[in-house]
Structure 1
């Protein structure tokens, strides 16, 4: 049984002896750990023994009982104090209510009265101890629950369900740090069609998240959680320009995961934002970027800023009508997906519209969303409406089949213009890269990194689209162009090989000769001899 420590204080030693021997301390749950004949000595013993209960007389030399009580409470506010007092001192002692004295016992001390007092005190101490233990249990439970609470907070944050005023409050309560000053979302999608034999999809996801945390640690300040089957990474950035470096880092991780795990990981990266409430839009962009794996291929990082044509922004959908499915299908451009999304939207309209007024209002909202979508993407809505000249007047009169057919036609037309804009943007990107090669091929520092930096795109995206459009990797194109210029100089000038090497961007003449021979099957000097001789 738990025992509480008691300190006896009285200038009459025989009084303390009587108290000590007449009370069954152990049976009642107490233990006398010290005795003192004055307040000064009592403080010394108290500091060492830390008693739970102090039974003290009032009148004592050097320091009376009330002053002792005051000092004890300062050092140990939880200590319980019992005052022994004569009848003539009782009223004086009662005035010291601010000292939180537990009991006042009149002298001469009655053993039964003191035992009853100690029993009440024991019950109070037991109850207080139980409450403290419960508080500690609650604190431990809260600490154990923090990972779940933090994940719920992150999910609510990217869903836009937390007001700006609540964000900091929850971050403090859940011990979350998001220092910024810029933020972005990355979504890690793991293909369930390429799961290694010794793993389940869940185990693979856990492994990928753990490896991402290890590989990005020290490079990026990230928070990880799982949402809708994907791993979401909230990244603190020092500036918006960090997005390009993050994209390349994620692309290297995707390739590493394929080699190490045999896992096909696609990472979508949203745009950077300056405040936490805007993370919902960064998340939407990241999820949108992941969906583009059907076009650009899985197993790589995709930056939403690279996908959208220059000067265009992905439109933000209001919450009253869910157009996300239609707009997502429009961006991806697969006809079957567009038809499915439109039919779902029209079906939802039919199910939810209870009156003709409500139906017409909702149809107008849909038309308004399409109109704003075109405006946000620098297109004219009127150019996609077909034979309809006044959409706001004619569309509400259409039946379900006609409305579905018209919406599919509009969505396909908008999607085609977006594709053309993207293709035009890609052609411009490739053309600019070739112009850089043409103008700077003689610069030994010209490389994939410098070209991407000049164009303002990530290495992974540029490498992918250049090879897709040009049919060869960019480095191969640069090397071939340099070799073409080298051949021209060999045939048109009398310059030596090391001079030609410098002209076409090679600081090492031996390496230039090696590359030339690998390309044409002979050294530059032999090439000159054979071709000029002819």
Structure 2
């Protein structure tokens, strides 16, 4: 309900309006009626209406004077002027006083109802707009921390004009930066011994927020700017010291304190990159990029460190020519060397990169070449059974030691696949050799060279793997097959002994008899007689 005051020096007009209008039906509450403007102002000290319907001509204080006083002190109150004076100067003055409506007497009940309907619609719309603005203002207040972070991210990552920096600093109530200043970037190494599942996004977000709180306490104490980037890094802007050396020392102390408390109380580690000092807020992107460059050295030096760009920017340029064939040596060792040899090669490679303090891009290039060499080896040898290896497999790792361990595991997997593949191929060759022997055992001139040519193997390698798979040498296996065939013929045929000898590859019957007795423990005749007796029994 909107509150209404009626102001008119004629009591009959006031009584008529009160009787003929159902105020509540139209959304209004008639909160009072008065004979002049002075009375209204006195009451408005404790009760302020939403609408005043007032005559112009009244004693003590007329309607226009009342409108002037109300508009000055209560600009949100709507004023409707009723008058019997059809004069243009009153209308002009009412417009200047921002009177809501100007209506001539006499006014009918119908006209008053239409007027109230129109006024209510206007006031409802105004109320809705105020509610929308209030809601927007509330949303803006809730969004201010995020808006401040996005502004600081734009300032530090992309850079802004001085005028925009000053305006935004005032808007967010941020303390001004004094030169020199620098940027520090903190990045979580990992979450320690916690076994976080990939879907446990809430857990990781809580841990990240805990790290932010640790740095926030330090930032508030030291008067630093702190924000989070979209890449989940924490960025601090340090300023307020006139000397650059003191600024670097101060920044490193702050970073060391943050690193220590996160490690001690949260049980996981972060690494800090400390960028170069700059002379103005517009140059902060330069400091930010150098802080990221310093943080890249975590890849070589390990986690849980404070890394200053001053420690690395003066190092000599990296020369990778001495490692140009490392990927080929790795591939060769994987194909022909021992696992121990491959591990030593990878460990030496990691140690060389660390010693060289190569930039991250150069390290990544060498690692990618090593991965490609393993991928090419699996494709070249057709290792369908090998574990898939991709260039992106190393992306989750943040240090060279972690990638070195992964390379050792990947190389070991490829070597196991090679060994399995070789065993499978060799087994197929041995089966082929056995089939050849069992088919050609009757040929007197069958030789090791014949079988090796048939199986496409060298005699030395064939002799080695044949003994490994059968437990016998080629000659022992051939002789056993021939003796077994001879025993079958002695048992089931009446062929002469010399005929049997020829059937199993021996042109000399005497030599056959000697070998048979050596292997069976009796002569061919004795073996046939014994079998015949056993059959009759």
Tell me the TM-score normalized by structure 1: 0.55
> Equivalent of 2:76, from 58, 75, 78?
78
Q: Distance in 1 between matches of 2:112 and 2:159?
A: 61
> Equivalent of 1:333, from 342, 354, 357?
357
Where 1:119 maps in the other structure, the secondary structure is helix
Q: Give the CA deviation at 1:252.
A: 2.9
Deviations 1:277-300 (A, max 9, x none): 111111112112212234444313
Aligned to 2:91: 94
> Equivalent of 1:11, from 9, 12, 30?
9
Aligned pairs for 1:118-517 within 5 A: 118-173=116-171, 175=172, 177-182=174-179, 183-192=181-190, 194-197=192-195, 200-239=203-242, 240=244, 241-309=246-314, 333-334=357-358, 337-338=361-362, 340-341=364-365
Where 2:58 maps in the other structure, the secondary structure is coil
Where 1:277 maps in the other structure, the secondary structure is helix
Q: Distance in 1 between matches of 2:174 and 2:287?
A: 18
1:46 and 2:49 matched: no
Aligned to 1:418: none
Deviations 1:307-329 (A, max 9, x none): 4349x99xxxxxxxxxxxxxxx9
Q: Is the 8 A contact 2:214 2:261 kept in 1?
A: no
Where 2:136 maps in the other structure, the secondary structure is helix
Q: Distance in 2 between matches of 1:245 and 1:335?
A: 26
Q: Give the CA deviation at 1:260.
A: 2.0
Tell me the TM-score normalized by structure 2: 0.55
Q: Give the CA deviation at 1:131.
A: 1.2
The total of aligned residue pairs comes to 325
Q: Give the CA deviation at 1:74.
A: 0.5
Structure number with bigger Rg: 2
Q: Give the CA deviation at 1:4.
A: 0.8
Where 1:217 maps in the other structure, the secondary structure is helix
> Equivalent of 2:106, from 105, 108, 118?
108
Deviations 1:127-177 (A, max 9, x none): 11111111112222222222332222222222225334433344445x251
Q: Gaps spanning 5+ residues in structure 2: where?
A: 318-352, 369-537
Q: Distance in 1 between matches of 2:131 and 2:355?
A: 58
Q: Is the 8 A contact 2:4 2:28 kept in 1?
A: yes
Q: Distance in 2 between matches of 1:196 and 1:178?
A: 38
Deviations 1:371-390 (A, max 9, x none): xxxxxxxxxxxxxxxxxxxx
Q: Distance in 2 between matches of 1:123 and 1:218?
A: 54
Change (3 A) 1:5 1:122: same
Q: Is the 8 A contact 2:218 2:254 kept in 1?
A: no
Where 2:79 maps in the other structure, the secondary structure is strand
Q: Distance in 2 between matches of 1:194 and 1:280?
A: 31
Where 1:71 maps in the other structure, the secondary structure is helix
Aligned to 1:381: none
Q: Give the CA deviation at 1:264.
A: 1.7
Moved more, 141-150 or 110-119: 141-150
Q: Is the 8 A contact 1:188 1:232 kept in 2?
A: yes
Q: Distance in 2 between matches of 1:5 and 1:193?
A: 62
Deviations 1:64-112 (A, max 9, x none): 11111111111111211111211x4543422312122222333333211
Where 2:192 maps in the other structure, the secondary structure is coil
Change (3 A) 1:64 1:89: farther
Change (3 A) 1:110 1:330: farther
Change (3 A) 1:288 1:260: same
Change (3 A) 1:101 1:201: closer
Change (3 A) 1:115 1:193: closer
Where 2:53 maps in the other structure, the secondary structure is strand
